[in-house]
Structure 1
C-alpha cells in the first residue's frame, strides 16, 4: 500500500471526488467547468501528439505477433467481459453504473502505471512503453465505435454531437501534435515534467466535472449500500478476469516471460487518462459521473493489486531468470 499512497495521480483523483462531493460544479458553473475541462483535454491530447514519437507507433504496428493479440484482448475480450458485467449487473446496480462496466471494458490501457509496474516486475520495458502508447492511441479511435457496437445506449446514449466533439477535442489536437512533432521536440523534452503534471491535473479536473454531475443528480441517494457493494463485487470480478485472462492469453501465445509481463500489465489495466476526459465529452454531465464510477474504482484497485503482483513476479524472475514462465501470477503474501 506504500506505493499506492505515494501515487500523485491517485491522490488527485481522490481529491477531485471529495471536492466534487463538497463543492460540485452545478448550475451556471457547470457550463464554465465543462468548457475549462474541454480546453484542458485539447491541450493534453495536443501534448500527447507532440511527445509520442511516430517511430514508436510504427514499431508497435510492426510487432503484430504481440500487438494484434493484445489489441484483441484489450478491445475484444475485455469489452465482452464488460458487456457481460453490464447486463449481469442491471438487476444489482443503477442502469448508468451498469453501462459504466461496458464503458470500462472498451477503454485502452494506462501508459505510466502499466509501464512502471512492468519494469518493477522485470518485464520487457521497451515493449511495454510501445504497447501502452500504441494501445492508448488506438483506443482514442476505436473505443467509442466498439462501445456503440456493443449497445452502449440508454441514458448514456452517444449522439452525433458527442462524436463531433471527440474528433475536435481528442483526435484533431493529437493529429496536430504529430504534425508539429519535429518542430516542438526540443521544447517538449524540456517541459517533460510539466507535461506529466498537465496530464494529472486535466484528468483530475475531468473527474471533478463528471462526478459533480453525479452529485447534482443525487448519487448518494440513488446508490444505496447494497448497490455500492454490488458495484465493488463486479469491479473485483473484472479485476480477476482481466489479470488472470491476460496472463493465460500471453502463455497461450508462447511469449517469453518478459513479454508476458508486459502483456499482463498492458492487457489488464484500464486508463483513467483516456476514460475520464472522454466521458466528459461523450456523455451528458448528469450521466457521466455514474458511468465513470466503475472506471474510478477499477483504477484504484488495479494499483492496489499491481504493486504486490509486480513484486511477486520480480521475485520469481530472480529465482528463474532463464525461464519463459508459465506459472500463474499470485498476490499471496
Structure 2
C-alpha cells in the first residue's frame, strides 16, 4: 500500500461509509480499533532507535523551532480563521481546523522526505519521534481551551485514555525492543500496512456514524470549500514562515529542509487515534477527521515535490555535469 494506495483506501472507506454505513455492524469494530491502536504504538516502540535519537539530540535550535511551530505557531495561526465560521470558536468546523493545528508531526513520512531531500536526518528522526510524545499532553491541553466549557471534554480523563492506549503500549514496545526490535525492523513495511489498515477502519467507523446521524447534511458546499481553502493556506503560510525564520536565524540548508518538512507536517495516525479516544463514537468525529485527511493528502503531494527538487539541487552541486533529461 503505497502513498497513493493509502489515499485511495481512505477515500474508499468514506464512500463505503456513505453507501453502506452498517456493512461492518456485526463486527465488534470498537474493540478491534482499540486493540489496533494499542498495537500501532506497541510496534512503534519496538521500532524506535535510541542510538538515532541520541545522535540528533543536540541540535537544539532546530528542535525548539520545529516543536514551537507544531504546538504554538500552528495553533495560533488557526485562530485567524474562526471569524469565517458562524459560531466562531464554538463552530465544529473551526474546532476541526483547530484540532488539526494542535496535532503532533508525522513520524515516517517526515523522516522519508528529509532523507530524499538530503536534510539533517538525525534531527528529523529525533523531532518526528519526540513530537508524538509531546502531543499526548499538548494536544488535549490545547483543545481544552475551547472544549472544557462544553461539558464533553475532561482533560484528565482524556489524558488517562491516551496513557492507556498510547503510552503504555509504547513503553511495552520499548522494553521489549532488545528482544524483538530487529524482527520489527525486518517486517517494518508489513507493520506499516497494519497501521494504515487500522486508520482506514477508524475512518470508516467515524464517517459511518456521521452519515447515520446526517451530520454532513448541515455542512454546505461553501463550508467545505472554505475548509479546503484554509487547509491550503495553512500549509503554505507555515512553510513560508519557516523559510523566512530559518533564513533570519542563519540555519544551514540541511537544517532548513528539516525544519520546513517536520514543522509543516501533521500526523494522520495521531489525529485518527486521538479523535477516536477524545470524542469516542460521537457523530462529529467524521467532521473532525476531514481537515486532517485533506491536509494529509496535500502535505504528501507537495512535500514530495519539494523533496525531489532539493534532491536535484544536491545532485547538481555534487556533480555540475549532470544534465536533466
Task: With the length of structure 2 as denominator, give the TM-score of the two structures.
Answer: 0.87
Q: How much is the aligned-residue C-alpha RMSD, in angstroms?
A: 2.7
Give the Å deviation of 1:288: 1.2
Partner deviation per Cα, 1:66-116 (whole Å, 9 max, x = no partner): 21221111111011112333x233229992221011111111111222222
Q: Higher mean Cα deviation, 260-269 or 243-252? A: 243-252
Q: 1:312 to 1:58 in 2, by over 3 A?
A: closer
> What is the CA-CA distance between 1:154 and the residue it aligns to?
6.6
Instruction: Kindly indicate whether the alpha-carbon contact (under 8 Å) linking 2:59 and 2:123 is maintained by their aligned counterparts in 1.
Output: no
Aligned residue for 2:32? Answer: 36
| Aligned residue number for residue 137 of structure 2 | 141
TM alignment of 1:121-136, pairs within 5 A: 121-136=117-132
Instruction: Please show how residues 1-333 of structure 1 align to structure 2 within 5 Å.
Output: 7-25=4-22, 29=25, 32-85=28-81, 87-91=82-86, 95-148=91-144, 150-153=145-148, 157-159=152-154, 160-285=156-281, 286-319=283-316
Write the distance in 2 (CA, Å) between the matches of 1:71 and 1:229.
29
Which range is displaced more, 249-258 or 152-161? 152-161
SS of equivalent to 1:62 = coil
1:131-161 per-residue CA deviation (whole Å, 9 max, x = no partner) reads 212222322332222222x424576942254
Q: 2:52·2:122 contact (CA, 8 Å) conserved in 1?
A: no
Q: Gaps (5+ residues) in structure 1?
A: 323-333
Mapped partners of 2:148, 2:227: distance in 1:
19
1-structure distance, mates of 2:292, 2:191: 23
Query: Which runs of no fewer than 5 residues in structure 2 stay unpaired?
Result: 320-325
Paired residues of 1:82 and 1:106 also in contact (CA < 8 A): no
Q: CA deviation at 1:23?
A: 2.0
The two structures have a TM-score, normalised by structure 1, of 0.85
d(CA) in 1 for partners of 2:87, 2:313 = 39
CA 1:74–1:310: 2 relative to 1, 3 Å: same
Question: For the residues of structure 2 that align with 1:52 and 1:304, how far apart are their CA atoms?
Answer: 26
How many angstroms does 1:237 deviate by? 1.4
Contact 1:83 1:105 survives alignment (8 Å): no
Question: What is the count of residue pairs matched by the alignment?
Answer: 316
2:51 and 2:2 map into 1 onto residues whose CA distance is 35
